[in-house]
Protein backbone atom coordinates (compact mmCIF):
# COMPACT_ATOMS: atom_id res chain seq x y z
CA UNK A 1 0.00 0.00 0.00
CA UNK A 2 1.47 3.37 -0.99
CA UNK A 3 0.43 6.97 -1.66
CA UNK A 4 1.69 9.94 -3.61
CA UNK A 5 2.84 12.65 -1.18
CA UNK A 6 3.23 16.27 -2.27
CA UNK A 7 4.54 19.21 -0.26
CA UNK A 8 3.49 22.65 -1.52
CA UNK A 9 5.81 25.42 -0.38
CA UNK A 10 6.29 29.01 -1.52
CA UNK A 11 9.51 28.20 -3.43
CA UNK A 12 9.41 24.45 -4.13
CA UNK A 13 6.94 21.62 -4.60
CA UNK A 14 8.39 18.34 -3.35
CA UNK A 15 6.83 15.01 -4.14
CA UNK A 16 7.37 11.36 -3.27
CA UNK A 17 5.93 7.90 -3.17
CA UNK A 18 5.56 6.87 0.48
CA UNK A 19 4.62 3.36 1.53
CA UNK A 20 2.59 2.21 4.54
CA UNK A 21 5.82 1.84 6.56
CA UNK A 22 6.73 5.49 5.99
CA UNK A 23 9.56 4.69 3.57
CA UNK A 24 10.14 7.03 0.64
CA UNK A 25 10.56 4.88 -2.44
CA UNK A 26 10.84 7.68 -5.00
CA UNK A 27 11.03 11.47 -4.79
CA UNK A 28 11.58 14.70 -6.70
CA UNK A 29 11.25 18.51 -6.59
CA UNK A 30 10.11 21.30 -8.90
CA UNK A 31 10.07 25.09 -8.44
CA UNK A 32 6.71 26.55 -7.36
CA UNK A 33 5.19 28.95 -9.89
CA UNK A 34 3.97 31.02 -6.94
CA UNK A 35 3.91 34.29 -8.88
CA UNK A 36 1.30 32.82 -11.25
CA UNK A 37 -1.12 32.37 -8.35
CA UNK A 38 -2.85 29.63 -6.40
CA UNK A 39 -4.72 27.99 -9.28
CA UNK A 40 -1.53 27.68 -11.32
CA UNK A 41 0.17 26.03 -8.34
CA UNK A 42 -2.69 23.54 -7.96
CA UNK A 43 -2.34 22.84 -11.69
CA UNK A 44 1.34 22.01 -11.09
CA UNK A 45 0.30 19.63 -8.31
CA UNK A 46 -2.21 18.01 -10.64
CA UNK A 47 0.51 17.38 -13.25
CA UNK A 48 2.65 15.72 -10.56
CA UNK A 49 -0.30 13.54 -9.51
CA UNK A 50 -0.83 12.37 -13.09
CA UNK A 51 2.88 11.63 -13.51
CA UNK A 52 3.01 9.64 -10.25
CA UNK A 53 -0.13 7.73 -11.23
CA UNK A 54 1.35 6.81 -14.61
CA UNK A 55 4.52 5.40 -13.03
CA UNK A 56 3.30 3.89 -9.75
CA UNK A 57 0.30 2.12 -8.36
CA UNK A 58 -1.02 4.47 -5.65
CA UNK A 59 -4.21 4.44 -3.65
CA UNK A 60 -4.45 8.19 -3.02
CA UNK A 61 -2.78 11.58 -2.81
CA UNK A 62 -1.61 13.16 0.43
CA UNK A 63 -0.72 16.84 0.41
CA UNK A 64 1.26 18.97 2.84
CA UNK A 65 0.75 22.68 2.28
CA UNK A 66 1.82 26.09 3.51
CA UNK A 67 -1.00 28.18 5.01
CA UNK A 68 -3.81 27.43 7.43
CA UNK A 69 -5.48 24.29 6.13
CA UNK A 70 -8.92 22.83 6.84
CA UNK A 71 -7.62 19.26 7.12
CA UNK A 72 -11.11 17.74 7.03
CA UNK A 73 -12.22 19.26 3.71
CA UNK A 74 -8.74 19.81 2.24
CA UNK A 75 -9.20 23.53 1.75
CA UNK A 76 -6.92 26.55 2.31
CA UNK A 77 -8.49 28.65 5.10
CA UNK A 78 -5.87 31.35 4.93
CA UNK A 79 -2.50 31.88 3.26
CA UNK A 80 -0.20 34.87 2.92
CA UNK A 81 0.50 36.52 -0.42
CA UNK A 82 3.55 34.28 -0.97
CA UNK A 83 1.12 32.45 -3.26
CA UNK A 84 -1.43 35.05 -4.42
CA UNK A 85 -5.00 33.77 -4.56
CA UNK A 86 -4.24 30.64 -2.55
CA UNK A 87 -6.65 31.52 0.27
CA UNK A 88 -9.98 29.71 -0.09
CA UNK A 89 -8.88 27.15 -2.68
CA UNK A 90 -10.56 23.73 -2.22
CA UNK A 91 -7.38 21.83 -3.16
CA UNK A 92 -8.64 18.33 -2.33
CA UNK A 93 -11.88 18.83 -4.29
CA UNK A 94 -10.17 20.28 -7.38
CA UNK A 95 -7.65 17.44 -7.56
CA UNK A 96 -10.07 14.66 -6.63
CA UNK A 97 -12.44 15.79 -9.41
CA UNK A 98 -9.64 15.44 -11.97
CA UNK A 99 -8.01 12.16 -10.91
CA UNK A 100 -10.75 10.30 -9.02
CA UNK A 101 -8.50 9.21 -6.13
CA UNK A 102 -8.93 10.14 -2.45
CA UNK A 103 -7.00 13.36 -1.62
CA UNK A 104 -6.07 14.64 1.84
CA UNK A 105 -4.47 17.99 2.73
CA UNK A 106 -2.81 19.07 5.99
CA UNK A 107 -0.74 22.10 7.04
CA UNK A 108 2.99 21.65 6.41
CA UNK A 109 4.19 22.17 10.00
CA UNK A 110 1.55 19.72 11.23
CA UNK A 111 2.94 17.30 8.65
CA UNK A 112 6.46 17.88 10.00
CA UNK A 113 5.17 16.97 13.48
CA UNK A 114 3.38 13.85 12.20
CA UNK A 115 6.44 12.82 10.20
CA UNK A 116 8.75 13.21 13.19
CA UNK A 117 6.28 11.37 15.45
CA UNK A 118 6.02 8.49 13.02
CA UNK A 119 9.59 8.15 11.79
CA UNK A 120 11.79 10.72 13.47
CA UNK A 121 12.88 12.64 16.56
CA UNK A 122 9.50 12.48 18.33
CA UNK A 123 8.94 8.70 18.20
CA UNK A 124 7.09 7.66 21.36
CA UNK A 125 6.69 11.26 22.62
CA UNK A 126 3.09 12.27 23.36
CA UNK A 127 3.56 15.96 24.23
CA UNK A 128 5.82 17.93 21.95
CA UNK A 129 5.96 21.11 19.92
CA UNK A 130 7.37 21.58 16.48
CA UNK A 131 8.88 24.95 15.62
CA UNK A 132 10.06 25.56 12.06
CA UNK A 133 12.44 28.42 11.42
CA UNK A 134 12.38 29.75 7.88
CA UNK A 135 11.13 32.96 6.27
CA UNK A 136 8.72 33.04 9.20
CA UNK A 137 8.19 30.81 12.23
CA UNK A 138 5.70 27.98 11.97
CA UNK A 139 4.40 25.95 14.85
CA UNK A 140 2.58 22.74 15.57
CA UNK A 141 1.15 21.39 18.81
CA UNK A 142 1.15 17.67 19.46
CA UNK A 143 -0.65 17.12 22.76
CA UNK A 144 -1.80 13.94 24.53
CA UNK A 145 -0.69 11.84 21.58
CA UNK A 146 -2.37 13.78 18.80
CA UNK A 147 -2.22 16.96 16.79
CA UNK A 148 -4.07 19.91 18.29
CA UNK A 149 -5.27 22.13 15.46
CA UNK A 150 -7.58 24.55 17.29
CA UNK A 151 -11.17 25.67 16.79
CA UNK A 152 -10.72 26.33 13.07
CA UNK A 153 -7.42 24.76 12.07
CA UNK A 154 -5.17 27.66 13.05
CA UNK A 155 -3.48 26.67 16.34
CA UNK A 156 0.27 26.97 16.73
CA UNK A 157 0.87 30.31 14.99
CA UNK A 158 3.90 30.92 17.20
CA UNK A 159 5.41 33.32 14.69
CA UNK A 160 2.80 35.97 15.43
CA UNK A 161 3.20 36.13 19.20
CA UNK A 162 4.27 39.65 20.13
CA UNK A 163 7.90 39.71 21.25
CA UNK A 164 8.47 43.49 21.12
CA UNK A 165 5.29 45.64 21.31
CA UNK A 166 5.57 48.40 18.72
CA UNK A 167 8.54 46.66 17.07
CA UNK A 168 9.21 45.77 13.44
CA UNK A 169 6.17 45.49 11.18
CA UNK A 170 5.24 41.92 10.27
CA UNK A 171 3.68 40.51 7.08
CA UNK A 172 0.51 39.98 9.17
CA UNK A 173 0.19 43.75 9.61
CA UNK A 174 0.98 43.72 13.32
CA UNK A 175 4.18 44.99 14.96
CA UNK A 176 6.91 43.22 16.90
CA UNK A 177 5.95 39.63 15.98
CA UNK A 178 8.26 36.82 17.11
CA UNK A 179 9.11 35.78 13.54
CA UNK A 180 10.50 39.25 12.75
CA UNK A 181 13.25 38.55 15.32
CA UNK A 182 13.83 34.81 15.58
CA UNK A 183 13.24 33.26 12.12
CA UNK A 184 16.18 32.30 9.92
CA UNK A 185 15.31 35.28 7.69
CA UNK A 186 15.69 37.60 10.65
CA UNK A 187 19.10 36.09 11.40
CA UNK A 188 20.04 36.77 7.77
CA UNK A 189 18.85 40.36 8.21
CA UNK A 190 20.94 40.83 11.36
CA UNK A 191 23.98 39.56 9.45
CA UNK A 192 23.21 41.88 6.54
CA UNK A 193 22.89 44.89 8.88
CA UNK A 194 26.20 44.11 10.58
CA UNK A 195 28.24 43.30 7.47
CA UNK A 196 26.54 45.44 4.84
CA UNK A 197 26.25 42.45 2.47
CA UNK A 198 24.42 39.12 2.68
CA UNK A 199 26.22 36.03 4.00
CA UNK A 200 24.90 32.51 3.53
CA UNK A 201 23.83 31.19 6.94
CA UNK A 202 25.97 28.07 6.47
CA UNK A 203 29.06 30.31 6.20
CA UNK A 204 27.81 32.42 9.09
CA UNK A 205 27.62 29.33 11.31
CA UNK A 206 31.12 28.23 10.27
CA UNK A 207 32.44 31.63 11.43
CA UNK A 208 30.34 31.49 14.60
CA UNK A 209 31.73 28.08 15.49
CA UNK A 210 35.24 29.51 14.93
CA UNK A 211 34.33 32.06 17.62
CA UNK A 212 34.36 35.09 15.30
CA UNK A 213 33.34 37.86 17.71
CA UNK A 214 31.05 39.78 15.38
CA UNK A 215 29.23 36.56 14.42
CA UNK A 216 28.95 35.44 18.03
CA UNK A 217 27.39 38.78 19.00
CA UNK A 218 24.78 38.50 16.23
CA UNK A 219 24.10 34.85 17.04
CA UNK A 220 23.66 35.54 20.78
CA UNK A 221 21.16 38.31 20.12
CA UNK A 222 19.12 36.13 17.75
CA UNK A 223 19.33 33.15 20.11
CA UNK A 224 18.13 35.25 23.05
CA UNK A 225 15.05 36.34 21.07
CA UNK A 226 14.43 32.77 19.89
CA UNK A 227 14.49 31.28 23.38
CA UNK A 228 12.46 34.12 24.92
CA UNK A 229 9.62 33.14 22.59
CA UNK A 230 10.13 29.42 23.29
CA UNK A 231 10.00 30.17 27.02
CA UNK A 232 6.44 31.48 26.68
CA UNK A 233 5.31 28.48 24.65
CA UNK A 234 6.94 26.02 27.07
CA UNK A 235 5.23 27.63 30.06
CA UNK A 236 1.83 27.35 28.40
CA UNK A 237 2.06 23.77 27.10
CA UNK A 238 4.62 22.01 29.31
CA UNK A 239 6.03 19.85 26.48
CA UNK A 240 8.72 17.22 27.04
CA UNK A 241 10.26 17.95 23.66
CA UNK A 242 10.65 20.81 21.19
CA UNK A 243 11.61 19.83 17.66
CA UNK A 244 13.34 22.49 15.60
CA UNK A 245 12.68 22.23 11.86
CA UNK A 246 13.50 24.29 8.77
CA UNK A 247 16.76 24.49 6.82
CA UNK A 248 18.61 25.89 9.83
CA UNK A 249 18.13 22.59 11.68
CA UNK A 250 21.01 21.30 9.51
CA UNK A 251 23.25 23.16 12.01
CA UNK A 252 22.60 20.18 14.23
CA UNK A 253 24.25 19.68 17.59
CA UNK A 254 25.84 23.14 17.79
CA UNK A 255 22.50 24.91 17.41
CA UNK A 256 20.65 22.35 19.54
CA UNK A 257 23.02 22.83 22.47
CA UNK A 258 22.93 26.62 22.15
CA UNK A 259 19.10 26.68 22.19
CA UNK A 260 18.92 24.22 25.06
CA UNK A 261 21.45 26.04 27.24
CA UNK A 262 19.80 29.43 26.68
CA UNK A 263 16.24 28.15 27.13
CA UNK A 264 16.93 26.13 30.27
CA UNK A 265 18.03 29.33 32.05
CA UNK A 266 14.63 30.88 31.31
CA UNK A 267 12.07 28.19 32.18
CA UNK A 268 10.75 27.19 35.60
CA UNK A 269 12.40 24.20 37.33
CA UNK A 270 9.57 21.75 36.78
CA UNK A 271 9.44 22.53 33.04
CA UNK A 272 13.22 22.31 32.88
CA UNK A 273 13.25 18.83 34.42
CA UNK A 274 11.31 17.22 31.58
CA UNK A 275 12.24 19.35 28.56
CA UNK A 276 14.51 18.35 25.70
CA UNK A 277 15.35 19.98 22.35
CA UNK A 278 15.95 18.01 19.17
CA UNK A 279 16.52 18.88 15.54
CA UNK A 280 14.06 17.40 13.02
CA UNK A 281 15.55 14.11 11.84
CA UNK A 282 13.89 13.92 8.46
CA UNK A 283 14.78 17.49 7.49
CA UNK A 284 13.08 18.33 4.21
CA UNK A 285 11.40 14.90 3.94
CA UNK A 286 9.39 15.10 7.18
CA UNK A 287 6.49 16.93 5.49
CA UNK A 288 6.13 14.22 2.85
CA UNK A 289 6.25 11.41 5.40
CA UNK A 290 3.81 13.32 7.65
CA UNK A 291 1.41 14.00 4.77
CA UNK A 292 1.31 10.25 4.07
CA UNK A 293 0.73 9.58 7.78
CA UNK A 294 -2.19 12.03 7.76
CA UNK A 295 -3.63 10.19 4.75
CA UNK A 296 -3.34 6.75 6.37
CA UNK A 297 -4.81 8.05 9.66
CA UNK A 298 -7.73 9.70 7.86
CA UNK A 299 -8.42 6.48 5.98
CA UNK A 300 -8.26 4.44 9.18
CA UNK A 301 -10.82 6.75 10.85
CA UNK A 302 -13.06 6.09 7.87
ZN1 LIG B 1 2.89 38.75 12.57
Convert the pLDDT of each residue in 16-49 to its tens digit.
Answer: 999 999 999 999 999 999 999 999 999 999 999 9
Report the alpha-carbon distance of residue 15 to residue 26 in Å, rounded.
Answer: 8
**How confident is the model at residue 284, as a pLDDT?**
81
Length of the chain (residues): 302
Mean pLDDT, residues 104-122 taken together: 97
Enumerate residues 6+ apart whose C-beta is below 8 A from 184: 133, 134, 135, 201, 246, 247, 248
Q: What's the pLDDT tens digit per position in 128-143?
A: 999 999 989 999 999 9
CB 41 within 8 A of CB 8: yes
Tally: H helices and E strands in the chain = 10, 12
Distance 302 CA to ligand 1 centre (A): 37
Give the Å distance between the CA of 33 and the centre of ligand 1.
25
Q: How far is the CA of 172 from the centre of ligand 1 (A)?
A: 4
- What is the DSSP code (8-state) at residue 296? H
Is residue 283 predicted with pLDDT exceeding 80? no
Ligand 1 centroid, distance to 35 Cα (angstroms): 22
pLDDT > 70: percent of the chain: 100
Instruction: Give residue 112 CA to ligand 1 midpoint distance, Å.
Output: 21
Q: From the CA of 99, how far away is ligand 1's center (Å)?
A: 37
CA of 146 to the centre of ligand 1 (A): 26
pTM: 0.93
**141 contact partners, CB below 8 Å, separation of at least 6:** 129, 147, 148, 149, 155, 156, 237
pLDDT tier at 279 (50, 70, 90 boundaries)? very high
pLDDT at residue 11, rounded to an integer:
87
Residue 302 has pLDDT above 80, yes or no: no
* Residues 168-178: tens digit of each pLDDT: 999 889 999 99
Amino acid sequence: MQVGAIDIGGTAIKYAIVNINGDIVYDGTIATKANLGGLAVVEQVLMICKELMSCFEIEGISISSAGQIDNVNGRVCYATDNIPGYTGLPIAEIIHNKIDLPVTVENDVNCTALGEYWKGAARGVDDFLCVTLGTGIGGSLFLNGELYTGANFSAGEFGHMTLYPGGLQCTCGSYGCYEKYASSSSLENLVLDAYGYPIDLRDFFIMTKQRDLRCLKIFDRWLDDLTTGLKTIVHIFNPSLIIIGGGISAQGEYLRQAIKTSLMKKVLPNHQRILDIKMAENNNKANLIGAAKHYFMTKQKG
